[in-house]
């Protein structure tokens, strides 16, 4: 695979992950502590984003990409530029409401605007999936996807460093500094893709080899079962990601300041960036599903340790959180490679849309329907805040282990599917 096709996508991922880290590393903390939203309402942003993203990818962009993969590049460019403009509107509107003394109004305005934005920004997210899949066709897909994701996670590390410096206990958002930085980064993302070399497909004849019956099995039963399993894992991992930030910052919890929280986020990404290419290469050799099962089991153990150990010195928390970061990154990287393996070209638009929505469901909805309500309910019933957070970690661990068990059962059935494919090809 030519470095000319891989490198620009890697640079895009670097800038894109940097931008996300700069904005979202402390954004939920900003909603919770600076603007005063409770845990569940602070998580509402992810849920509203999910609704917008789902509509955009399934109804608008995915079906068009099924027929016209060449739209992937312009979709990325348009999505990034529309997002840049919308972020400016979000800052101006929320700044105006803050000046009027309405913190809650400012919070909900941003949630609404950023959710509407997801309808259009999702074309970028889906377009990038297409570009990555096209650039990694062949028997080294897992390693190459891990390599590209590694670029992104390095960018995320830089973003976490910047976010800790720019946040300034909420002033980075309220004064607009973080918004301005994010807008510039989005414009850079659009520029990189616009002037990158055209990606050529290598393995384009797979759908002519696999019969209609086997293809339907892959794109319906096998694919959907796999997506459901991944959805459980992602929901479990992400249901307490926001809770963990609150727990880290809580005086009765870990009581870490913004600098130490930034260090934790950096270690989370650094471990993921190191593990993703290695794990992807191993998945090329032994299979994707065994790697995903191991990552699910590891993530479940990490959350169980947070519940069991409680308040610990920074070093111990950092080690566990780093392992969680490695599991999270490897799960996304290898599961995407497996999804690209399963889908024939004419179904990738819809298929990648469903995959993205599955991830968005985890990252966006889990905190609203699992982590936030569990913590808020326990606090309402009189439990200390730190105890409520730790029990939320336990719930996350159980959901992850349930998804891991489902995926283990899926592994047995997927072996039979692969045997059927080999018989069909031979």
Q: Is the pLDDT of residue 425 over 60?
A: no
Q: Is the pLDDT of residue 84 over 90?
A: yes
pLDDT bracket for residue 220 (50, 70, 90):
low
Spatial contact of 366 and 38, defined as CB atoms under 8 Å apart? no
pLDDT attached to residue 199: 55
pLDDT digits (tens, 9 = 90+) for 95-116: 999 999 999 899 889 888 888 8
Q: For the chain, give every domain's residue range.
A: 3-425
pLDDT digits (tens, 9 = 90+) for 260-308: 887 888 888 889 888 888 898 898 888 888 999 999 999 999 999 999 9
pLDDT attached to residue 171: 92
pLDDT attached to residue 225: 82
CA 222 to chain centre: 22
Rounded Cα distance between 371 and 380, Å, is 14
Helices 258-286, 288-309: inter-axial angle, 10-degree rounding: 150
Extract the tokens encoding 145.
């996807």
Q: Which of the following CATH numbers is that of domain 3-425: 1.10.3210.10, 2.70.160.11, 3.90.1640.10, 1.20.1250.20?
A: 1.20.1250.20
**pLDDT higher for 241 or 50?**
241
pLDDT attached to residue 202: 41
Taking the CA atoms of residue 355, residue 360, residue 362 and residue 366 in that order, the dihedral angle to the nearest 10 degrees is -150
Work out the average pLDDT over 316-340. 91
pLDDT attached to residue 272: 85
Find the farthest-apart pair of alpha carbons in the chain and give their distance in angstroms, rounded: 70
pLDDT bracket for residue 206 (50, 70, 90):
very low
Of the candidates 356, 343, 347, which has an alpha carbon nearest to the alpha carbon of residue 67?
347
Average pLDDT of the residues of the chain: 83
pLDDT attached to residue 409: 85
Work out the average pLDDT over 375-380. 87
- Phi and psi at 37, nearest 5°, equal -75, 145
Work out the average pLDDT over 7-14. 90
Contacts for 245 with CB less than 8 Å, ≥ 6 apart: 28, 29, 261
Q: Is the pLDDT of residue 424 over 70?
A: no
Rounded Cα distance between 330 and 298, Å, is 11
Which of 320-329, 361-370, 401-410, 415-424 tops mean pLDDT? 320-329
pLDDT attached to residue 97: 93
Which of 24-33, 181-190, 264-273 tops mean pLDDT? 181-190
Q: Find the range with the poorest average confidence among 94-98, 221-225, 228-232, 417-421.
A: 417-421
Rounded Cα distance between 378 and 396, Å, is 15
Extract the tokens encoding 28.
């939920």
pLDDT digits (tens, 9 = 90+) for 43-72: 667 677 777 888 888 788 888 887 788 888
Rounded Cα distance between 144 and 135, Å, is 9
Distance in Å from the first CA to the final CA of the chain: 26
CA 213 to chain centre: 33
pLDDT bracket for residue 342 (50, 70, 90):
confident
SS (H, E, C) the chain: CCHHHHHHHHHHHHHHHHHHHHHHCCHHHHHHHHCCCCHHHHCHHHHHHHHHHHHHHHHHHHHHHHHCHHHHHHHHHHHHHHHHHHHHHHHHHHHHHHHCCCHHHHHHHHHHHHHHHHHHHHHHHHHHHHHHHHHCCCCCHHHHHHHHHHHHHHHHHHHHHHHHHHHHHHHHHHCCHHHHHHHHHHHHHHHHHHCCCCCCCCCCCHHHHCCHHHHHHHHHHHHHHHHHHHHHHHHHHHCCHHHHHHHHHCCCCCCCCHHHHHHHHHHHHHHHHHHHHHHHHHHHHHCHHHHHHHHHHHHHHHHHHHHHHCCCCHHHHHHHHHHHHHHHHHHHHHHHHHHHHHCCHHHHHHHHHHHHHHHHHHHHHHHHHHHHHHHHHHHHCCCCHHHHHHHHHHHHHHHHHHHHHHHHHHHHHHHHHHHHHHHHHC
**pLDDT higher for 422 or 131?**
131
Of the candidates 66, 145, 138, which has an alpha carbon nearest to the alpha carbon of residue 335?
145
């Amino acid at each position: 695979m030519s470095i000319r096709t891989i490198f620009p996508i890697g640079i895009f991922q670097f800038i894109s992950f940097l931008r996300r880290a700069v904005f979202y590393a402390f954004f939920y903390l900003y909603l919770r502590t600076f603007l005063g939203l409770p845990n569940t309402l602070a998580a509402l942003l992810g849920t509203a984003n999910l609704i917008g993203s789902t509509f955009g990818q399934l109804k608008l962009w995915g079906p068009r990409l099924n027929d016209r993969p060449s739209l992937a590049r312009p979709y990325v460019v348009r999505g990034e530029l529309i997002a840049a403009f919308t972020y400016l509107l979000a800052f101006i509107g929320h700044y105006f409401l803050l000046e009027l003394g309405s913190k809650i109004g400012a919070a909900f305005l941003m949630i609404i605007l950023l959710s509407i934005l997801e309808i259009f920004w999702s074309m970028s997210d889906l377009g990038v999936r297409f570009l990555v899949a096209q650039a990694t066709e062949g028997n080294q897909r897992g390693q190459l996807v891990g390599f590209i994701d590694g670029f992104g996670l390095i960018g995320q590390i830089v973003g976490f460093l910047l976010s800790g410096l720019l946040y300034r206990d909420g002033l980075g958002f309220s004064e607009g500094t973080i918004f301005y930085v994010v807008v510039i980064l989005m414009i850079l993302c659009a520029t990189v893709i616009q002037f990158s070399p055209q990606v050529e497909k290598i393995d384009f004849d797979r759908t002519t080899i696999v019969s209609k019956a086997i293809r339907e099995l892959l794109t319906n039963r096998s694919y959907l079962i796999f997506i459901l399993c991944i959805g459980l894992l992602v929901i479990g991992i992400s249901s307490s990601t926001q809770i963990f930030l609150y727990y880290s910052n809580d005086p009765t919890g870990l009581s870490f300041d913004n600098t130490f929280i930034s260090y934790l986020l950096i270690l989370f990404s650094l471990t993921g960036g190191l593990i993703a290419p290695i794990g992807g290469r191993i998945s090329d050799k032994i299979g994707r599903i065994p790697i995903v099962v191991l990552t699910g089991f590891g993530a479940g153990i990490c959350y169980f340790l947070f519940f069991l150990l409680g308040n610990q010195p920074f070093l111990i928390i950092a080690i566990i959180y780093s392992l969680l970061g490695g599991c999270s990154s490897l799960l996304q990287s290898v599961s995407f490679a497996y999804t690209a393996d399963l889908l024939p070209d004419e179904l990738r638009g819809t298929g990648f849309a469903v995959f993205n929505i599955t991830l968005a469901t985890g990252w966006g909805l889990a905190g609203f329907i699992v982590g936030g309500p569990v913590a808020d309910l326990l606090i309402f019933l009189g439990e200390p805040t730190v105890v409520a957070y730790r029990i939320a970690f336990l719930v996350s661990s159980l959901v992850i282990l349930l998804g891991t068990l489902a995926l283990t059962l899926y592994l047995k059935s997927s072996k039979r599917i692969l045997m059927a494919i080999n018989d069909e090809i031979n």
